């Protein structure tokens, strides 16, 4: 066989080289498209995550509703005029101990978190602890000038828990109450002791009829555990 001329060799190589280039070009193009698609998907996912976070932040802000003392009084007044208030009294025994001057009592509801906190305790104040397992037996501060109006202490007894607390029996004063509806939503309001208090649908908002400014929240489970309804609301809602 005679050797091929240089021009003929080049002519035969060109289709092979062209085919290889085309194959390489197609592979490069395919990888480029795939990478581009991945970049688009990743970018889209990033945008969606950002939008979701922005929406969540916006929703949280929109649900952050706070009522002043005047507004919470108005809520009670409106509920009363609509026949949605009743009367209830606290009947479940609580455990109490003398408060340490300066201590702050944070009221925490199990499964819910912080409800409110007290101002620093003063000499003569008491710490009360509910006997209500569903709420985690929450604690709260009772001022000295109202404690004797609300509780009778059995000095000779000790708590069943054996932790030095003293049982105290509520004196059963009737308080006006309203159960918050879903339409009332979740909000915070200024409690009588000057701190913010959270309230949610299903909770009871109670008010001392003799002290219209004495309005506070009782968590739904705590109301069921520790209160007795004396007079139900005139309307179901």
Low-confidence ranges of the chain (pLDDT < 70): 1-63, 155-162, 236-237
The whole-number pLDDT of residue 47 equals: 36
Which pLDDT tens digit goes with each residue over 119-136? Answer: 999 999 999 999 999 999
pTM greater than the 0.75 cutoff: no
What are the extents of the domains in the chain?
Answer: 1-46, 66-231
Give the pairing of strands 166-170 and 174-179: unpaired
The whole-number pLDDT of residue 64 equals: 83
Which pLDDT tens digit goes with each residue over 103-117? Answer: 999 999 999 999 999
The whole-number pLDDT of residue 237 equals: 61
The whole-number pLDDT of residue 40 equals: 42
The whole-number pLDDT of residue 164 equals: 75
The whole-number pLDDT of residue 10 equals: 52
DSSP string, the chain: -PPPPHHHHHHHHHHHHHHHHHHHHHHHHHHHHHHHHHHHHHHHHHHHHHHHHHHHHHHHHHT--EE-HHHHHHHHHHHHHTT-EEEEEE-S-EEEEEPPTT--PEEEETTTEEEEEPPPP-TT-EEEE---GGGT--EEEE-HHHHHHHEEE-TT---TT-SS-EEEEE---EEEEEEPPGGG--EEEE-TTSSEEEE-TT-EEEEETTEEEEEEEE-HHHHHHHEEEEE--SS--
């Amino acid at each position: 066989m005679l050797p091929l001329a240089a021009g003929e060799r080049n002519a035969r190589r060109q289709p092979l080289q062209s085919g290889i280039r085309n194959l390489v070009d197609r592979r490069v193009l395919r990888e480029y498209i795939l990478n581009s698609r991945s970049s688009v998907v990743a970018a889209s996912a990033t945008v969606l995550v950002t939008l979701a976070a922005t929406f969540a932040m916006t929703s949280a802000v929109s649900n952050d509703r706070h009522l002043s003392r005047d507004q919470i009084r108005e809520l009670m007044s409106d509920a009363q005029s609509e026949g949605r208030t009743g009367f209830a009294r606290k009947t479940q025994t609580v455990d109490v101990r003398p408060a340490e001057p300066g201590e702050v009592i944070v009221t925490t509801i199990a499964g819910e978190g912080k409800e409110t906190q007290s101002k620093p305790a003063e000499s003569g104040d008491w710490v009360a602890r509910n006997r209500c397992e569903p709420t985690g037996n929450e604690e709260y501060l009772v001022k000295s000038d109202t404690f004797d109006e609300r509780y009778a202490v059995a000095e000779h007894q000790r708590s069943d828990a054996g932790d030095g607390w003293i049982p105290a029996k509520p004196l059963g004063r009737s308080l006006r109450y309203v159960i918050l509806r879903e339409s009332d939503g979740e909000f915070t309001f200024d409690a009588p002791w000057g701190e913010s208090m959270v309230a949610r649908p299903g909770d009871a908002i109670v008010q001392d009829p003799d002290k219209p400014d004495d309005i506070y929240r009782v968590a739904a489970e705590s109301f069921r555990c520790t209160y007795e309804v004396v007079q139900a609301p005139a309307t179901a809602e």
